[in-house]
Amino acid sequence: MDAPLEFDVLVVGSGASGLAAAVSADRAGARVGLVAKDAVQSCNSAKAQGGIQAAFGEDDSPEQHAEDVWKSSHETADRKLVEVLTGEAPSAIHWLEELGVEFTRENGGYRLARCGGASRKRLLQVGDRTGHAITKAMREWVDGSSVQTFPKSPLIELERRENGWRAVCGEHVIDAGTVVLAAGGRCFRIAAERGELTTNHPGATGEVTQIAVDLGAELRDYDALQYHPNGGAWPAPMQGYSIPETTRAYGAVLLNADREEFTDSLGPRDEVSQAIVDEVAAGRGVETPDGRPAVYLDTTQIAEDDANVSLPYMLRRYRAGGIDPLDEPILTYPVLHYQNGGLVIDEHSETTLEGLYACGEIAGGTHGRNRMMGNSLLECTVFGRRAGKAAAEKAA
Ligand SMILES: Cc1cc2nc3c(=O)[nH]c(=O)nc-3n(C[C@H](O)[C@H](O)[C@H](O)COP(=O)(O)OP(=O)(O)OC[C@H]3O[C@@H](n4cnc5c(N)ncnc54)[C@H](O)[C@@H]3O)c2cc1C
């Protein structure tokens, strides 16, 4: 066996949270290794479309943002984590800008949308490729830094040693002072087991969480899985696509078979998803040409200018499938999307095991049992930064 590679901080995962952790650990002076299961670009974060929340509106504040998170979580979130999330949101946006992310602007400020469960317009966007823009900027920064990346190197084993951790990642053995777990959720595996559609990428299988649990790390709200209210139901190539929630922010409404509104289209995600399922169960849904349940999302209500600025990718995809969402309603049904819970962390992203950190979708607490849209990319940035910094300091 080759001699183990040595780093101060090992980051596991190359989505938004892992990249944020790597940037911040590198800037704190640590020697950083970053491993990914597949290509470094392959992750859920790059697929995120709608946007990222931060209180920049004149009538808004981090406290109001925190209140909305608390209510949307049905008062199950960890309040301390929520305060960190919303309090650091504006500085996290500026940090992303410094790395090269260009958020969509209008009238001299950010273009802000109101997303489900939010009391204010708070969602910043980069068109409807926000996750792509954020991960691209961070990846480019990492590529120009001294962070060493190891694609196709899945974490298989993790063992606590006297002065840190030993990890087996594909063909590499890596010794590190501290480890940041940023390996995302497990919705792809659950959907495969249940025979359901999912928005997630194939790497979202959850084995890293299991490795941490086997070492003794604590979990919370792990059973709470989120269905995105608006999975694409038709045409077939759009099945499993997450229709951005910004469609509803810019005026699209949910309609039943009689073209009647049956729910508040901007309610919290779990309530909107349940309302769609109930409407279909009550016989007021529609059927796709291949026999799947659905309701209408009346996207014809969206102003063309708003769609061109905030939904260009969605428009392109549907039009390529022969449907123009600005001319006719599209068919939608909830789809498995997100793991709300995960590893217990403190405000520095440390798990219940010393020297083992977790950030992003693999961690629990920030959203309680129901996440608001746009708070996951934010969580990745805020707690990824914190994890990287704390892991670097502890390793030193
Ligand atoms: C289609 C879609 C749209 C979304 N839209 C939004 C949105 O608009 N706004 C928002 O806030 N959130 C959105 N989300 C949610 C959000 O994007 C994700 O929850 C978040 O980006 C997860 O980031 P992450 O870094 O925790 O995990 P991921 O981005 O999933 O990255 C996980 C990384 O871990 C790696 N990995 C997995 N297992 C291993 C292993 N064994 N060893 C090594 N590496 C491993 C993977 O290869 C990957 O690099 C969306 C999600 C999807 C799927």
pLDDT at 2 (0 to 100) = 75
Asked if 175 and 259 sit in the same domain, the reply is no
Nearest C-alpha to atom 31 of ligand 1 is from which residue? 15
- Among residues 17, 113, 132, the alpha carbon closest in space to that of 372 is found at 113
Atom of ligand 1 nearest to the CA of 207: 41
Asked if 119 and 169 sit in the same domain, the reply is yes
Q: Is 211 among the domain residues? A: no
Domain that holds residue 81: 5-186+340-395
Instruction: Return the CATH number at 173.
Output: 3.50.50.60
Q: Is 213 among the domain residues? A: no
Asked if 19 and 101 sit in the same domain, the reply is yes
Percent helix, percent strand, percent coil in the chain, to nearest 5 = 35, 25, 40
Asked if 146 and 254 sit in the same domain, the reply is no
Q: Is 195 among the domain residues? A: no
Q: Is 201 among the domain residues? A: no
Distance (Å) of CA 41 to CA 19, 35, 131, 184, 223: 11, 12, 11, 14, 28
Asked if 24 and 164 sit in the same domain, the reply is yes
Q: Is 139 among the domain residues? A: yes
Q: Is 89 among the domain residues? A: yes
Q: How far is the CA of 43 from the centre of ligand 1 (A)?
A: 5
Q: How far is the CA of 340 from the centre of ligand 1 (A)?
A: 12
Asked if 148 and 293 sit in the same domain, the reply is no
Domain boundary among the residues 285, 308, 336 is at 336
Q: Does residue 1 carry a pLDDT above 70?
A: no
- Among residues 393, 234, 258, 251, the alpha carbon closest in space to that of 317 is found at 234
pLDDT at 324 (0 to 100) = 97
Asked if 154 and 290 sit in the same domain, the reply is no
Asked if 41 and 154 sit in the same domain, the reply is yes
Catalytically active residues, by annotation: 269
Instruction: Return the CATH number at 248.
Output: 3.90.700.10
Per residue in 62-98, pLDDT (tens digit) is 999 999 999 999 999 999 999 999 999 999 999 999 9
Q: How far is the CA of 45 from the centre of ligand 1 (A)?
A: 4
Half-sphere exposure of 317 (CA within 13 A, CB side): 21
Q: Is 199 among the domain residues? A: no
Q: How far is the CA of 31 from the centre of ligand 1 (A)?
A: 24
Asked if 162 and 290 sit in the same domain, the reply is no
Atom of ligand 1 nearest to the CA of 376: 11
Asked if 156 and 9 sit in the same domain, the reply is yes
Domain boundary among the residues 315, 336, 357 is at 336
Q: Is 192 among the domain residues? A: no
Asked if 45 and 178 sit in the same domain, the reply is yes
Report yes or no on whether pTM surpasses 0.95.
Answer: yes
Domain boundary among the residues 317, 336, 355 is at 336
- Map residue 362 onto helix, strand or coil: helix
155 CB within 6 A, ligand 1: yes
DSSP string, 76-103: -S-HHHHHHHHHTHHHHHHHHHHHT---
Torsion angle, alpha carbons of 96, 100, 103, 104, to 10: 180
Per residue in 198-249, pLDDT (tens digit) is 999 999 999 999 999 999 999 999 999 999 999 999 999 999 999 999 999 9
Per residue in 275-325, pLDDT (tens digit) is 999 999 999 999 999 999 999 999 999 999 999 999 999 999 999 999 999
Which segments within 241-384 are labelled E, that is strand?
A: 253-255, 286-287, 293-298, 330-339, 342-344, 356-358, 363-364
Choice from 150, 242, 362, 376 to test ligand 1 binding pocket (greatest atom count within 8 A of CB): 376
What amino acid occupies position 37?
K
45 DSSP assignment:
G
Task: Look at the chain and report how many structural domains it folds into.
Answer: 2
Per residue in 13-38, pLDDT (tens digit) is 999 999 999 999 999 999 999 999 99
Q: What size, in residues, is the chain? A: 396
Per residue in 322-368, pLDDT (tens digit) is 999 999 999 999 999 999 999 999 999 999 999 999 999 999 999 99
Asked if 158 and 233 sit in the same domain, the reply is no
Per residue in 125-174, pLDDT (tens digit) is 999 999 999 999 999 999 999 999 999 999 999 999 999 999 999 999 99
146 DSSP assignment:
S
361 CB within 6 A, ligand 1: yes
